[in-house]
A and B are shown apart, each in its own frame.
Chain A
C-alpha cells in the first residue's frame, strides 16, 4: 500500500520525530550534565549546551573513592555479571534444547513442562528463598552469587528448541552416517547453524544481565562487589550532601556504553549471518 497524501506523511513524520526526541533528549541532557562542574548544575536554568569540564569530570570520577566503589571496579563487576549471565544462559539453554529436541528419554515431556513452569518464576518472585539458598552456599558477595540464580532460562531454551526444529532430521542422520557422535553433531552442525540466533540472544541477555538491579542490591554488601547500576543509585542517596549530578550523569554514560557497544558490534554478525543465507 503506497499512499502519497501530504497530511499522512506529515503526521507520521511528526510522530516519529516526537518519539525520537523523547528518547534522545534525556541522553543529550546526560551528556550535557556530565560536561559541567558540580556548581553549574545547582543553578537554574540548567544548561542545555555541553560545558568544558568533561575530561576533568572523567579524571575525578576515576580517581575518587567517595562514591562507594571506584567506577572501574563496578563497571568490571557489571561486565562480569552480564557476561556470566548471558553466556551461562546460552550454554545451559542450548544444551537443554538439544536434549529435548534430539533425544527420546523417559519423562521428556515432563522435563519440558518443568522448564516451561520456570517462566513463571523470575528471580523477583522467588527472591527470598533464592537469597536463603545463595547465602547458605556462601555465595554472597561473589560473582557466582550474582549470576547463578539468574542463569536458568526457559525463554532461551524455547527459542533454541524452535531453531533446532527447523534443522532437518536428514542432517542429523547424515552426520550419524558420517560417524559423528551426538556431541560432535552438536558442536559441528547444530551450533554453527544456530550462530545468528546465539548472537541475537547474547545481545538481549547481555543487556538483561547488565541492567540487573534488585538482585545485586540484595546479595552484595561489600562496595567492591557493587555493580554500576547500583552505584548510580548509591550516588543519588549519598547521605546529607547534595547529589553530585555531574558524576552521576557521567556514571550513567559509562553504564550505557557497554550495551551500546554490544548491540553495535553484534549487529554486524547478525547482518553477516542473515546475508550469508545458509538454510
Chain B
C-alpha cells in the first residue's frame, strides 16, 4: 500500500531552475506516466523521487512519510534504467541477488525470491549468463527482475524501452503494464513517447519545461487538453493548429470561411486546433479546399498533407486505409464542427 505525494517540488542546478514546483498525488497501485519532450525534466523529477538527485525545495512523501533526506535504499523504491545498468561482471542471478544480499536476507530466501521472479519473467534459463550474452529484450527483463525482487513500494522507470526495436517495445509495453497490475505496485514511468504514455498510463503527467502542463487520464488529456502544448503533444500525428479569426457568423481562415458552431462564444484572433482524425469525408459543401501535397500510408489509415491557400502549415487529414486520393488532387476540408479546439494566441491556453 503505497502512495506518493509531491508538494511544490523544485530543483535548481546552480543558477538554472529545471523543475518549477510540481504537485502530484499518486494513489496506491497507480501507474503514472511522466511524459514530455526531451529536456523537460522528466528524469530529474524521477530521480528526485528515487533519491539520486537532491531536492532543492518542496517535499516528496512516500506513504505519507517525507523522504527528502533518505538514501535511495531506504525509500522502498526500485528503479529500471534506460541502459538497464546491469552489472556487467555479474551473472543474471548475481545481478538480481546483489541488492538482496546487501539487505542481509538469508541465503535461502534470496535464492527463492530470485527463482520466483525469474520464473515470472521467464528468464530462468539465463540465470547463469552474463548480461553481455543476452539480447536487448532479455536484458530489459533482467533489469525488471532486479527491481521486482526487492519487493519495493514504488517502481521507477526511466525510458526503459527506448533501446528496443519497435516490435519488442510494443510487447514489453504490455508485459510491464500487466505485471504492474498483477503486482499492484505504485509506479512512476518516464517516457518521451506519447503512444507509450497513452497506452500504459492510469494517469499522465504532461511536463513542459519543468512544469506539469496537465495531469489526467489519457482520455481526459486527449479529449480535453488544457493548452496548446498538451494538445499538440498528445495525439499522433499531432493536432493541426491554424490561425483564424472568429466573427459573429463565421470562422475566417486566411480568407476562407467556415460556419461558426453556435456554442463557440469567443471572438477575435485565435488559434484553431483540429485533430487529423476529426475531419469528415463528405463531398457536400466543403468549407475549405486544399491540394494534397504528400500522402502517408500506414495501412489502416492514410494521412493526407494538404496545402491550403493562405495557411502556412500543411493540414494533416486522416482517411481510411484504402482511400484512392492522389498527390495534387483537390480535397475538401470538412472539420467535425463538434471537435474544434480554440487556443489563445498569446497564452496558448485553451479557450474553448
Interface, chain A (partner B; CB < 8 A)? 168, 170-171, 173-180, 184, 188-189, 192-193, 195, 276-279
A261 to B119, CA, bound (A): 47
Interface, chain B (partner A; CB < 8 A)? 47, 50-52, 71-73, 77-79, 81-89, 98-99, 102-103, 130, 132, 146, 150
Closest residue of chain B to A278, judged by CB?
B88
User: Of the candidates A170, A176, A189, which one forms a contact with B82 in the assembled complex, judged by CB atoms under 8 Å apart?
Assistant: A170
11 CB-based A-B contacts, threshold 8 Å = A170-B83, A173-B47, A173-B79, A177-B77, A178-B73, A178-B146, A179-B73, A179-B99, A180-B98, A192-B89, A278-B89
What residues of chain B lie closer than 8 Å to A276, measured between beta carbons? 130, 132
**Given known contacts A178-B102, A179-B102, A278-B132, is B73 in contact with A173 (CB within 8 Å)?**
no
Which residue among B47, B85, B146 has the maximum number of chain A CB atoms within 10 Å of its CB?
B85
User: Of the candidates B52, B85, B99, which one forms a contact with A171 in the assembled complex, judged by CB atoms under 8 Å apart?
Assistant: B85
Closest residue of chain A to B84, judged by CB?
A170
Q: In the complex, how many angstroms separate the beta carbon of A183 from the nearest chain B beta carbon?
A: 12
| B89 lies within 8 A of A168 (CB) | no
Q: In the complex, how many angstroms separate the beta carbon of A106 from the nearest chain B beta carbon?
A: 16
Q: In the complex, how many angstroms separate the beta carbon of A14 from the nearest chain B beta carbon?
A: 43
What residues of chain A lie closer than 8 Å to B77, measured between beta carbons? 177
| A180 lies within 8 A of B89 (CB) | no
| A176 lies within 8 A of B130 (CB) | no
**Given known contacts A168-B83, A184-B102, A278-B130, is B78 in contact with A177 (CB within 8 Å)?**
yes
Task: Apart from A170-B84, A175-B98, list 19 A-B contacts with CB within 8 A.
Answer: A168-B83, A168-B85, A170-B83, A170-B85, A173-B47, A177-B52, A177-B73, A177-B79, A177-B99, A178-B146, A178-B150, A179-B73, A179-B102, A179-B103, A180-B98, A184-B102, A189-B89, A277-B132, A278-B130
| A188 lies within 8 A of B132 (CB) | no
Interface majority SS (helix, strand, loop, mixed), chain A = helix
Q: In the complex, how many angstroms separate the beta carbon of B213 from the nearest chain A beta carbon?
A: 27
**Given known contacts A170-B85, A189-B87, A277-B132, is B98 in contact with A178 (CB within 8 Å)?**
yes
User: Of the candidates B78, B81, B89, B146, which one forms a contact with A173 in the assembled complex, judged by CB atoms under 8 Å apart?
Assistant: B81
A279 to B71, CA, bound (A): 28
What residues of chain B lie closer than 8 Å to A174, measured between beta carbons? 79, 81, 85-87, 146
Which residue among A168, A171, A177, A189 has the maximum number of chain B CB atoms within 10 Å of its CB?
A177
What residues of chain A lie closer than 8 Å to B78, measured between beta carbons? 177
| B88 lies within 8 A of A170 (CB) | no
Closest residue of chain A to B133, judged by CB?
A277
A192 to B52, CA, bound (A): 23
Which residue among B50, B72, B89 has the maximum number of chain A CB atoms within 10 Å of its CB?
B89
A49 to B77, CA, bound (A): 74
Which residue among B51, B73, B150 has the maximum number of chain A CB atoms within 10 Å of its CB?
B73
A170 to B99, CA, bound (A): 15
| B52 lies within 8 A of A178 (CB) | no
Q: In the complex, how many angstroms separate the beta carbon of A125 from the nearest chain B beta carbon?
A: 39
What residues of chain A lie closer than 8 Å to B89, measured between beta carbons? 189, 192-193, 195, 278
| A180 lies within 8 A of B85 (CB) | no
A192 to B130, CA, bound (A): 14
Q: In the complex, how many angstroms separate the beta carbon of A142 from the nearest chain B beta carbon?
A: 38
What residues of chain A lie closer than 8 Å to B85, measured between beta carbons? 168, 170-171, 173-174
A91 to B161, CA, bound (A): 39
Closest residue of chain A to B81, judged by CB?
A170
Q: In the complex, how many angstroms separate the beta carbon of B20 from the nearest chain A beta carbon?
A: 24
What residues of chain B lie closer than 8 Å to A278, measured between beta carbons? 88-89, 130, 132
Closest residue of chain B to A195, judged by CB?
B89
Closest residue of chain B to A194, judged by CB?
B89
Which residue among A176, A178, A279 has the maximum number of chain B CB atoms within 10 Å of its CB?
A178
What residues of chain A lie closer than 8 Å to B79, measured between beta carbons? 173-174, 177
Q: In the complex, how many angstroms separate the beta carbon of B352 from the nearest chain A beta carbon?
A: 45
What residues of chain B lie closer than 8 Å to A173, measured between beta carbons? 47, 50, 52, 72, 79, 81, 85
A178 to B52, CA, bound (A): 12
Q: In the complex, how many angstroms separate the beta carbon of A143 from the nearest chain B beta carbon?
A: 34
A267 to B318, CA, bound (A): 64
| B83 lies within 8 A of A177 (CB) | no
